[in-house]
Structure 1
């Protein structure tokens, strides 16, 4: 098993871990958004979705533990690569050009990642780790989004998430070997479209709930 440990701790291995865990989070974002869209259907529709999700029992627990494990791997590996890059280049370039495919997403990956980590913790505290006795998840969500400041924070977080995945999705495909002149332009477009879906799909929901309250 030494070869596996050596591979995973190598620079290439760390990038593979980042890519695979990143792709899994993109899948999670898509499925999570699909479920959240039932909010447009009202109280009954969203509560029914939540009840169906919790009826999975052990499967849901395994999925949550898997996401937690992937999150730990993604954060620790990303932080390690970031510190290694800083150590390899302690003095920043005097001129920061946008050539070579550099985008706002690629330039801010560590920082948007940190902001998303903080938001996820905040989000879990407000929605998952709350007392649900005598109430429903729909009531918890609508009460949270009745606060304009929370709506503003949530929308801002979704913009940060879109910036992060706009580069992360493309980079993940590149890491796993899809770096081909024939496919990469389409993957870049797919990454941007997915980022827009994340920003608009998640971002419009709290605005809708605030306006319709």
Structure 2
């Protein structure tokens, strides 16, 4: 019995409220890390990195707990910029180490992909902000509806308790207003047998008997 009750008491706490903040950021980081590896294998920053980034940001913003929305949305663009710059630096580190004009050109190639993919970065960031705002609004609406239901339930319970207390108080007042002797007298009167009522046919028979007696006399 105790095992079943403990399981039932633990069931409300198992409601899914969202991924932890670290997990949301970790999803974006893992997607970018995978995209960087794919880009290094092809020696070019291409669609796998961009696709993984966009999908991971949407998933993380949708599933992370409400308290982690700000950190998830704010850290995603920074992680993308760092990933793109790290990929460009790894692919151009030979030219950068050589120095000279080629080294400066290589440094520009490290920064250039960030400006090239800025429209995608802006679109994904704007989409994540919209998702976060919608989630916050829905949570606020749900919390307001829950607060109204709880307030209505408390009001109804208070009204019920007030009616019960009022009825009990009136009953006690009526009991105090009637003396004990009066209650006993009423009880005895209710238990005493009531006299039988004379019916109309009996009264008519008696009247006829009286008329016959007077006529014979």
Q: TM-score, normalised by structure 2?
A: 0.29
Q: TM-score, normalised by structure 1?
A: 0.30
Larger Rg over CA atoms = 2
Determine which structure has the larger helix proportion and give its number: 2
Higher relative contact order (CA 8 A, sep 6+): 1
